[in-house]
Amino acid sequence: MGGVCTGDETELARMGYKQELKRDLTLMQNFGVSFSIISILTGIPPMFFFGLTTGGPAVMVWGFIVVAFFTMLIGLAMAEICSAHPTSGGPYYWAAMISKPQGAPFASWVTGWFNLLGQIAVTTGIGFSCADFISTAATITSNYEPNAPKTIGIYAAVLFAQGMINTFGVHIRKYMNTVSVWWHVFGTTSIIVSILAAAPKLQSGKFVFRTFIDSTGVDGIGWSQRASPAYVAVIGILMAQYTLLGFDASAHMTEETHNAAMSGPIGIVMSISVSAILGWFLILGLLFAIQDYETTVKSPTGQPVTQIFLDTVGEKGGIVLMVIIIGAMLFCGAFSITSNSRMMYAFSRDGAIPGSKFLNKVDHRWRSPIRAVWLVCALSFILGLPSFGSSVAFSAATSIATIGLYTSYGLPIALRVIYADRFVRGPFHLGKLSYPISIAAVLWIAFISVAFCLPELNPVSTKTLNYAPVAVGIVLTYALGYWTLSARRWFTGPIKQIAEKDKSIDSADSAEPVVMSEKTDFLVM
């Protein structure tokens, strides 16, 4: 850049990092990445069967509102921290900066591994859903018969295409971002309007808002009988919580965003807000358009949402609506790999991942961490293989993603509460509401982390076991074991690429003014 530095680069240098990634995203494009990864069209349709059978319409409708409220609290707490530390490391970097020096490496290490687990599981769930919906769409007007090997091939092709976009498509990413946002907004609206307008009949308000259904019993005895309806409602909110996931992408993209200390936080809050509103109306539209509950749940297509399309708009219309969903999933997966690879790049930049010297390279031509991109694709493919042919394995993958990411969100928020005196706020802050919002966010994360480890089907057997706690336990054991045996001796937390003496930059040479946090306050009251 010819020695000329922007305010964002000055801020990044203050945190000890060089500007290596291409910084060309605006606030709306930063929002678009998180909005596209949350992707209500990727979260709700694949989980619709789970919602219909685990609590039914009442839990889906009211549970989504409850989850959206607490997710917004989490987002606000994260946005405040992101504003203070706008770097692609996201939560794991925040944990190090907020902790006391002696505990910073360990806090950063644990947070980073949970975030990495969640990111890979999210990419897996997105790719799996996309492959499954492509297979389902292919059966509508043809004799195509999907099976596990065919769907695995589609899954591999989806990940490969998204990996290629993240390898060679960095220069068109911001345009894809804009297309993705409008695709989701108009696509969701089109689906809702189409199925409601074409439905031969609409379900009653009583069915949509008050009907509780428990089909969690393999032998007919569900958890509402063995335990209580509250148990079913608690595990039933997984659909909503999994849908409203991935907004940390705005933080991971801050090193590629202009005015990052404000754009990143606003991107987080906006993506949750818009997704929550559109998601709730999508759930209502799908529930009102159900023609027959039993036919929908036991659809020969394997997807209740596809059956709703066929029952309302017919085969040709159904294909169009399926294409809208598949397109959203392709956008979502591509941006998920973008976010995931940035986190892996940042974590390897600090030496926390085996093979860090190989992974922490940014391609100078494409300005993208290409090696991290393809490792993400490979790990996601491997993690997704057990899910084919097993709805239990898929719901476990969604639980893993939810627990992993939300735990990584919760740890720096908890540290912000514990070490409140150490926290130096950025331009986006919550004022007097900061402390209570942060506490509520941490408590909700602790609650769902336990809830989503509980068995989903009754009775519990090797075929119905929720494997989420097993996967989370393996990663936690690895992270803690590796830390105890080796990493505690050499991992010191985020590594500074720029020495203290090199951080000062003559503001007179800056291409744009340096915006300091104390000069631009955004107070949420």
pLDDT per residue as tens digits for the range 9-49: 666 666 655 665 666 678 888 888 889 889 999 999 999 99
Q: DSSP secondary structure string, 214-235?
A: E--BTTS--HHHHT-HHHHHHH
Token pair 């027959």: residue: 292
Closest CA to 238 of 106, 125, 119, 123: 125
pLDDT per position as a tens digit, 205-228: 999 999 999 999 988 888 999 999
Which two three-digit tokens encode residue 93? 């970097």
93-117 pLDDT tens trace: 889 889 988 899 999 999 999 988 8
Q: Which helix (H) or strand (E) holds 163?
A: helix 148-168
Confidence of residue 417 (pLDDT cuts 50, 70, 90): very high
For residue 50, give Cα distances in angstroms to 191, 204, 239.
Answer: 20, 21, 7
pTM: 0.87
Residue 523 pLDDT class (50, 70, 90 cuts): very low
* β partners of residue 368: 363
Distances (CA, A) of 232 to 52, 446, 464: 11, 18, 15
Residues in the chain: 525
Q: Which residues contact 494 (CB under 8 A, 6 or more apart)?
A: 16, 89, 92, 93, 96, 97, 108, 350
Q: What is the distance between the alpha carbons of residues 377 and 389, in angstroms, rounded to a whole number?
A: 21
Instruction: Find all residues with CB under 8 Å of 142, minimum gap 6, and list them.
Output: none
The pLDDT tens digits for 439-460 are: 999 999 999 999 998 988 888 8
What is the reported pLDDT for 19?
62
Please report which confidence band the pLDDT of residue 86 belongs to, taking 50, 70 and 90 as the band edges: confident
Cα–Cα distance for residue pair 165/208, rounded to 1 Å: 40
**Contact between 117 and 475 (Cβ < 8 Å):** yes
| Least reliable range by pLDDT among 30-44, 263-277, 463-477 | 463-477
Token pair for residue 276? 């929550």
Mean pLDDT of 516-525: 37
Q: Do 403 and 468 touch, CB atoms closer than 8 A?
A: yes
Confidence of residue 389 (pLDDT cuts 50, 70, 90): low
User: Does position 192 have pLDDT exceeding 70, yes or no?
Assistant: yes
